[in-house]
Structure 1
Amino acid sequence: MGLFDKIRGELVDIIEWTDDSRDTIVWRFPRYDNEIKMGAQLTVRESQVAVFINEGQLADTFTPGMHRLETQNMPILSTLKGWKHGFSSPFKAEVYFVNTRQFTDMKWGTKNPIILRDPEFGMVRIRAFGAFSMRVVDAPKLLRELAGTDPQFRTEEVEDYLRQMIVGRIASALARAEVPMLDLAADQHSIGERLAPLLSEDLASYGLAIPKFIISNISLPPEVEAALDKRTQMGMLGDLNQYSQFQAANAMEAAAKNPNGGAGEGLGLGMGIAAGQQMAQALSPQQQQQQQPAPQQYAPPPAAPAQPGPPPLPQQDQWYIGVNGQQLGPFDLTGLAAQVSAGNLTPTTLVWKAQLPAWTAAGQVPELAPVLSSAPPPLPPG
């Protein structure tokens, strides 16, 4: 091989790049001090732009297609090199291939919650996350502002900056949208479409654009979600007064099936029923005013009207007893003794007279102790 052939073999005559990384934005063609032959073939594929740098200065930009490097199709570089009259000598230049396709595997999310003023819930903290696509729209600006002389500029080198800028924009965008918190999910798409051009405008000075911006989810703190779940359950219950009455009826039925239950269970049952009724009254006061109070199961008889004439002879107390959900009476002490013999009056039977504030178990009324003790003893076993 002659000297001329050796020198000719060191000249670059084919310049091209095929991307196999899927995350490379800028790739510098490896020249290794070899000179580019005048008349060499430059292949720029779709979604690529080739940028020539001569002595640190941007010279020429080539769009997709096949180019033969000659002085007539490199006007800027020809002026810089001072070629005259079509002089075709080898030259040295750095060639950067810029990927102009969309990079769609970009993610974003809010590390800290965003505080919004909601018309229904007041101050609310929310989080959001999603995805976006990025592409190069001005290769020279990208090289000047971000890539520089990096031989392989990847998406990871600019992704963090893009996320920070997006988070700064998303907070103001959600605040300006003035959409109620419960309706944000329905407006996620429209908010993303409004943000995409705003982000592209911010990135125009870097030669980048955001063609697509997606809000995948907007979430609330766990405690707020739990409160919303409770509110949803309350809405599903409907009339809380009717619900409390239904719960009280179920509790009474359960107590009837378990007559030997302890006093603690009865106390807890009463407190539960009272709490349900108080909640219903607090949450629906107007409805409570419209409804009439439910009649008591064992209502005491009305007092007899006063009769003219001499006062009546003193009489014994009139007693009433509750047996199997029915009110029996009135009875005097003799009549109560007969009810003991009949098995209708036991220490657990509810009794009432005018001096008692409410129905009370017979075993808890001291003056009925003689009556209850008058019951005959059980028969001896045969």
Structure 2
Amino acid sequence: MFFKNQFANVVEWEEFREDMIFWKWRNREIKKGSKLIIRPGQDAIFVDNGRIEGVFKDEGEYSIDSEIIPFLSTLKGFKFGFNSGMRVEVLFVNTKEFTVRWGTQNPVLIPTPQLPGGMPIRANGTFNFKVADYVTLIDKIAGMRDSYLVEDVKIRITSVLDQLLMKWISREGKNMFNLQANAHEIAGGIRDDLDMQIMDIGISITGFNVMSFNYPPEIQAMINKTASHEMIGDLSKYQQVSMTDGMTSGKMQGGGAASDMAGMMMGMNIAKEMMDNMGQGKVNKPDAPKAPTAPAASPAASDEGGAKPNFCPNCGAKNAGANFCPNCGHKLA
């Protein structure tokens, strides 16, 4: 318990926030009988005229008189035993590792031969950082500010991120249409460059990740279509199935030239099938010469037009005995 005539006070982080990197206790006298409180995840740095006089890292409650003074013997105020109090700054530093989400504010134009104006790409992810050098932090930041927030670091990082994305995406001819495959390498290069740039304020980048790259909608649609073609393998078959699906689902109605072309191609295929059937009918007319009597058909082939498969060999749709596939129009018998 402290007496009023001792003018005791408590030196502690009074305005703590989870997103605050450091906070400065300043412009007040440390009186005789004062105590220092350090909470978990905090370091307390005693500073006099911009010079670090002592760093205290262990959490707990300390008596300034008996536990702190021996470590601060170079301060004039302590040498005179608090006869007039002592003005000193105490910088409280958040020692945890911070995780921050980032995302490009505008598309980054990546030079590529396919697009003269560049490939517009957005990206997002996370980066991690922590305070690494107290001397540099005080010299460059804390000497002029009473506090420093995560948002301040984020602004500094994002101001150079577009240039670094352009550098590492373009490096060594990366595949512009499959950047995710190179995400780890790109992120590693950016992390190293960011660490070099941010270390001049006493902060270290401990991690950088790219979660996704985002293309313009028309480019993404082209990528998806190309991937579908590669998966199916048979491009002509893919086109046929796509047109059939579009017509049967009604998605091509009112679709303009593409819909008209698809309809015309389907019509031509159906007309060809009809002509083939008509040709077969002429051969089987009553007045045509009869072909030699063939052996009796097996039960499986006794139905008109021969046996019908249960599934269309062209699109795989189930067949219920029809001559033409109800899904794609393929002749079944």
Matched, 1:24 2:17: no
| Amino acid in structure 2 at the alignment position of 1:115 | L
Matched, 1:63 2:56: yes
Q: Please say if residues 108 and 129 of structure 1, whose CA atoms lie closer than 8 Å, have aligned partners that are also in contact.
A: yes
Q: Please say if residues 124 and 212 of structure 2, whose CA atoms lie closer than 8 Å, have aligned partners that are also in contact.
A: yes
Partner of 1:327: 282
List gaps (5 residues or longer) in structure 1: 255-266, 277-293, 299-321, 336-382
Partner of 2:11: 15
1:200-349 alignment, distance < 5 Å: 200-241=195-236, 271-272=264-265, 323=278, 325-327=280-282
1:215/1:274 CA distance change after superposition, 3 Å = same
How far apart, in 2, do the equivalents of 1:208 and 1:16 lie?
A: 23
Q: Secondary structure at the match of 1:215?
A: strand
1:268/1:165 CA distance change after superposition, 3 Å = closer
Matched, 1:94 2:89: yes
Q: Deviations over 1:43-83 (max 9, x none)?
A: 444532322333x43342313126654554114434xx593
Q: Please say if residues 46 and 64 of structure 1, whose CA atoms lie closer than 8 Å, have aligned partners that are also in contact.
A: no
Q: Secondary structure at the match of 1:327?
A: helix
Matched, 1:189 2:144: no
Q: Deviations over 1:272-295 (max 9, x none)?
A: 25999xxxxxxxxxxxxxxxxx9x
TM-score normalised to structure 1 length:
0.55
1:65-214 alignment, distance < 5 Å: 65=58, 69=64, 71-78=69-76, 83=79, 87=81, 89=83, 90-104=85-99, 106-117=100-111, 124-176=119-171, 178-214=173-209
Q: CA deviation at 1:163?
A: 1.6
How far apart, in 1, do the equivalents of 2:112 and 2:37 lie?
A: 56
How far apart, in 1, do the equivalents of 2:37 and 2:155 lie?
A: 32
List gaps (5 residues or longer) in structure 2: 249-259, 288-333
Q: CA deviation at 1:139?
A: 2.5
Q: Secondary structure at the match of 1:21?
A: coil
Instruction: Name which structure has the greater RCO, CA cutoff 8 Å, separation 6+.
Output: 2
Q: Deviations over 1:167-198 (max 9, x none)?
A: 33222122225432344223323432343232
How far apart, in 2, do the equivalents of 1:121 and 1:215 lie?
A: 24
How far apart, in 2, do the equivalents of 1:192 and 1:246 lie?
A: 40
Q: CA deviation at 1:245?
A: 8.2
Q: CA deviation at 1:327?
A: 3.1
Q: CA deviation at 1:208?
A: 0.7
How far apart, in 2, do the equivalents of 1:158 and 1:7 lie?
A: 44
Q: Please say if residues 136 and 209 of structure 1, whose CA atoms lie closer than 8 Å, have aligned partners that are also in contact.
A: yes
What value does the CA root-mean-square deviation take over the aligned residues? 4.2
Computing the radius of gyration from Cα coordinates, the structure with the larger value is 1
TM-score normalised to structure 2 length:
0.62
| Amino acid in structure 1 at the alignment position of 2:53 | D
